Amino acid sequence: MSTKTVAGAPLRGFKSILEGKYFAWILLLPSFILVIAFIFYPLYRGLYLSFTRTVLLEGPDSTFIGLENFRQMFRDELFLLATRNTLIFMAVGLVTQLALGLAAAMLLSQKRKYIGLIRVLVVLPWFTPPVVTAYMWRFILDSNSGVLIKMLEGVGISFGPAGLWSNPELAIYAVLFVDLWSSYPFFMLFLLAAIQGIPNDMRESTSVDGASSWQHFRFVVLPLISPVIVVSSILTVIGLINSPTLVLLMTNGGPGDSTTVLPLLAFQIAFQSYDFGYSSAISVAVLAAIAGFAMVYIRFAKFGKED
Amino acid sequence: MAATKKKRPISYHLVNVGILSLGLFAILPILWTFYTSLRPNLSIMRYPTQISFSDLSFDAYFGVWQDTNFPTLMKNSLIVSTMTVIISLALGTLAGYALSRSKFRGRQGVLLVYLSIRFIPGVLLLIPMYIFMMNLGLLDSFTGLTLAYTTFTLPATIWLMKGFFDSLPPDLENAARIDGCSRMGAMWRISIPLVLPGLAATGVLTAITAWNDVLFALLLSSSDRTRTWPVGLKEMIGEFQLPWEALTATSMLSMLPVVIGFSLVGRKMVAGITAGSLKD
């Protein structure tokens, strides 16, 4: 009998904690532990590593060297080239995804019988595994047998004897095209949701006032969805510079270093020359750029004003 | 007005053409890849490309399934994806529920932290995570890979689940509470059954993220024992100069689970992603 009270008391205590004001914190605790252990601790270590000399081949030890890695960065021509490539990648990627995403969202917000099916199909590329996306497009754009290359040659567009992938001027745009195919649906989804949030009778009243479709778009739709455009633009930029996956799989930086972007450079320095310190410094530079965007994002998203 | 409605204007047809082009742009590359996987290698390389449907076969699929270790690679991916889904959903549902239902001090801060995780470049986490896993002895293990995936699926899971819980009316739970149900009981018996479709959509999204990943798998799974399919496929292509039919067949095989999951809960998934991100 006595064991029952002993066992029951802490259980009752636990239950009352669970019911009390700490309810939310208890539910949050498991995810906190995981996020702190596997995101914030590694993040802190990554920041620390960027101020050290840590080359895994020389042993596991880190020596604190202050800002030396960052100084080295600005003397490193490959870093400067990668920065230039990253800026092209970001700018061209953002503009093309915005243009296609906006056009697609306008088209897919129309009422048609078959529109539901098309909306799902259009999003499929976004869920396609990057490995499949990369090799599929390498195949379709292959200079010897690629069906799209042959079709373009048929209408007089040729990429020269070396082909698209060996041309240092063109390779980055080829990767950008593939990135557009796989990433713009994300942009489109956000804009589509925003456009569908605009009441239908808005168009009816503007057409009564004699506004053309273009005027309706320019003066009614565009101002209403502009906050969403800003938010999704920033998320797209983050997507473009956060992960080197597609570049890694399609060109691995080549030909030459013409498609080396900053995240890829960081990846290569870390896992080909095992210079963890310098690689972390480059990642920190990427993070700093993203943090700038993040501030704008939170400002425009009016974060937490819902209640 | 009446006249334009009877006879549809040119713009109506132009919009149709535009919509169909978008659909074709998305699906044609995938269909072409599928078609290629059914063709014998000789006719793939022949130029000019001749479209024929006479000599199609699933031989490449049988070849990949029997002669390579691709089934093992897919099994490894399946194990890791399943583990990731279980952990993400368990932790993400609890946290999402807390953030949706309790108005506690520090809630905005927690939401902000989970949102800001999106901005951390994956590359910056790769190195310290590699070192951390090495120190924990979790390199080249399913557990290590699962933990790595969970870190970037968990914040998204929390956001999505919070959104799905937000869209439930709180009255049902309040009624259950008045009838003597505990808070945990109200969550478990009332709210979770109601968000099951959302839970399924979030689970599939998490599974696809883990299934598709290359970067973390490249680092954290180094031996045949744990290697996932994207890394395996990358290495097969590098080592053996995989013929196109085999390459396309493996691509299609690995995409099959994604397409199945997507066709089951794709709409709910898309709705969750857009709703959650627009509201806040």
Q: Over range B52-59, report the average pLDDT.
A: 77
Our count of domains for chain B comes to 2
Q: What is the DSSP string of A136-190?
A: HHHHHT-TTT-HHHHHHHHTT----TT-STT-TTTHHHHHHHHHHHHHHHHHHHH
Alpha helix stretches (DSSP H) within B139-228: 142-166, 171-178, 183-186, 192-194, 196-212, 215-220
B171 C-beta neighbours (distance < 10 Å), count: 8
Q: Is A238 helix (H, G, I), strand (E, B) or coil?
A: helix
Instruction: Please indicate, yes or no, whether residues B118 and B160 belong to a single structural domain of this protein.
Output: yes
pLDDT at residue number A306: 41
- Minimal Cα distance from B265: which residue of A? A120
> Tokens 């132009």 map to which residue?
B14
Q: Given a cut of 70, is residue A15 above it in pLDDT?
A: no
Beta strand segments in A5-147, E: 52-53, 63-64
Nearest to B123 among A117, A135, A283 (CB): A283
Q: Is A55 helix (H, G, I), strand (E, B) or coil?
A: strand
| Listed residue (A226, A192, A122, A229) closest to B275, CA to CA | A192
Instruction: Please indicate, yes or no, whether residues B102 and B240 belong to a single structural domain of this protein.
Output: yes
Q: Do B121 and A241 touch (CB under 8 A)?
A: yes
Q: Over range A9-13, report the average pLDDT.
A: 50
Q: pLDDT tens for residues A64-108? A: 888 888 888 888 899 999 999 988 988 899 899 999 999 999 998
Q: Do A242 and B121 touch (CB under 8 A)?
A: yes
Q: Given a cut of 90, is residue B81 above it in pLDDT?
A: yes
Beta bridge partners of residue A13, listed in sequence order: none
Contacting residues of A for B47, CB less than 8 Å apart = 145, 150
| Rounded Cα–Cα distance for residues B47 and B49 (Å) | 5
Instruction: Please indicate, yes or no, whether residues B28 and B118 belong to a single structural domain of this protein.
Output: no
Nearest to A132 among B92, B244, B251 (CB): B251
Q: Given a cut of 60, is residue B278 above it in pLDDT?
A: no
Instruction: Please indicate, yes or no, whether residues B30 and B122 belong to a single structural domain of this protein.
Output: no
* A-B C-beta contacts closer than 8 Å: 271
Contacting residues of B for A228, CB less than 8 Å apart = 278
Instruction: Confirm whether B74 is domain-assigned.
Output: yes
| Listed residue (A139, A119, A137) closest to A128, CA to CA | A137
Q: Considering the domain A72-301 in this protein, what is its CATH number?
A: 1.10.3720.10
Instruction: Please indicate, yes or no, whether residues B83 and B208 belong to a single structural domain of this protein.
Output: yes
Separation in Å, CA B66 to CA A119, A194, B63, B116:
37, 49, 5, 45
What element of type H or E holds A53?
A: strand A52-53
> Tokens 């959302």 map to which residue?
B198
| Rounded Cα–Cα distance for residues A157 and A132 (Å) | 26
Structure tokens at B3: 């006249």
Q: Over range B158-163, report the average pLDDT.
A: 88
Instruction: Confirm whether B60 is domain-assigned.
Output: no
Q: Given a cut of 60, is residue B258 above it in pLDDT?
A: yes
Instruction: Confirm whether B268 is domain-assigned.
Output: yes
| Listed residue (B101, B83, B103, B81) closest to B93, CA to CA | B101
| Rounded Cα–Cα distance for residues A223 and B92 (Å) | 35
Query: How confident is residue A2, by pLDDT bands cut at 50, 70 and 90?
Result: very low
Q: Residues B181, B184, B190, CA angle at the centre, nearest 5°?
A: 65
Query: How confident is residue A20, by pLDDT bands cut at 50, 70 and 90?
Result: low
| Rounded Cα–Cα distance for residues A299 and B85 (Å) | 32
Query: How confident is residue A300, by pLDDT bands cut at 50, 70 and 90?
Result: low
Q: Is B69 helix (H, G, I), strand (E, B) or coil?
A: coil
Q: Given a cut of 80, is residue A298 above it in pLDDT?
A: no
| Rounded Cα–Cα distance for residues B49 and A146 (Å) | 9
Instruction: Please indicate, yes or no, whether residues B125 and B172 belong to a single structural domain of this protein.
Output: yes
How many CA atoms lie less than 13 Å away from B111 in the CB half-sphere? 26
Instruction: Confirm whether B44 is domain-assigned.
Output: no
Query: Mean pLDDT of all residues in chain A?
Result: 82
Nearest to A49 among B102, B128, B251 (CB): B128
pLDDT at residue number B80: 95
pLDDT at residue number B3: 46
Q: Over range A8-36, report the average pLDDT.
A: 71
> Exposed (0-12), middle (13-18) or buried (19+): which is B223, by Cβ within 10 Å?
exposed
Q: Over range B171-199, report the average pLDDT.
A: 83
> What does DSSP assign to residue B215?
H
Q: B123 versus A37: which is more confidently predicted?
A: A37
Query: How confident is residue B75, by pLDDT bands cut at 50, 70 and 90?
Result: very high
Instruction: Please indicate, yes or no, whether residues B151 and B31 belong to a single structural domain of this protein.
Output: no
Query: How confident is residue A291, by pLDDT bands cut at 50, 70 and 90?
Result: confident
Q: Over range B275-280, report the average pLDDT.
A: 53
**What backbone torsions phi and psi does residue A119 show, to the nearest 5 degrees?**
-60, -40
| Rounded Cα–Cα distance for residues B153 and A34 (Å) | 11
Q: Do B19 and A213 touch (CB under 8 A)?
A: no
Of A174-188, B78-92, B174-188, the range with the lowest mean pLDDT is B174-188
Q: Given a cut of 60, is residue A301 above it in pLDDT?
A: no
Q: pLDDT tens for residues B83-98? A: 999 999 999 999 999 8
Q: Do B111 and A131 touch (CB under 8 A)?
A: no
Q: Over range B213-239, report the average pLDDT.
A: 85
Chain B nearest CA to A79, separation (Å): 15
Q: pLDDT tens for residues A146-173? A: 788 878 888 877 777 777 888 888 899 9
Q: Is A259 helix (H, G, I), strand (E, B) or coil?
A: coil
Instruction: Please indicate, yes or no, whether residues B9 and B134 belong to a single structural domain of this protein.
Output: no
Instruction: Please indicate, yes or no, whether residues B78 and B23 belong to a single structural domain of this protein.
Output: no
> Tokens 């196109």 map to which residue?
B244
| Rounded Cα–Cα distance for residues B20 and B9 (Å) | 18
Task: Tell me which residue range forms the domain holding B200.
Answer: 69-279
Q: Given a cut of 70, is residue B276 above it in pLDDT?
A: no
Instruction: Please indicate, yes or no, whether residues B127 and B10 belong to a single structural domain of this protein.
Output: no
Q: pLDDT tens for residues A225-241? A: 887 887 788 778 888 88
Query: How confident is residue B42, by pLDDT bands cut at 50, 70 and 90?
Result: low
Largest Cα separation within chain A, whole Å, is 92
pLDDT at residue number A303: 45
> Tokens 């669970």 map to which residue?
A18
Structure tokens at B204: 């599939």
Q: Given a cut of 80, is residue B13 above it in pLDDT?
A: yes
Our measurement of the distance from residue A134's CA atom to the centroid of its chain's CA atoms, rounded to an integer in Å, reads: 16
Instruction: Please indicate, yes or no, whether residues B30 and B78 belong to a single structural domain of this protein.
Output: no
Instruction: Confirm whether B53 is domain-assigned.
Output: no
Taking the CA atoms of residue B36, residue B42, residue B43 and residue B47 in that order, the dihedral angle to the nearest 10 degrees is: 110
Q: What is the CATH number of the domain that holds B243?
A: 1.10.3720.10
Instruction: Please indicate, yes or no, whether residues B6 and B77 belong to a single structural domain of this protein.
Output: no
| Rounded Cα–Cα distance for residues B73 and B231 (Å) | 9
Q: Over range A12-32, report the average pLDDT.
A: 72
Q: Over range A117-122, report the average pLDDT.
A: 86
Q: Given a cut of 50, is residue A6 above it in pLDDT?
A: no
**ipTM > 0.90 for the complex:** no
Instruction: Confirm whether B43 is domain-assigned.
Output: no
Q: Please, what sign has the CA dihedral across residues A123, A129, A133, A139?
A: negative
Percent of the residues in chain B that have a pLDDT greater than 70, as a whole number:
89
Query: How confident is residue A264, by pLDDT bands cut at 50, 70 and 90?
Result: very high
Q: Do A303 and B215 touch (CB under 8 A)?
A: no
A261 C-beta neighbours (distance < 10 Å), count: 28
Q: B147 versus B174: which is more confidently predicted?
A: B147
Q: Do B119 and A131 touch (CB under 8 A)?
A: no
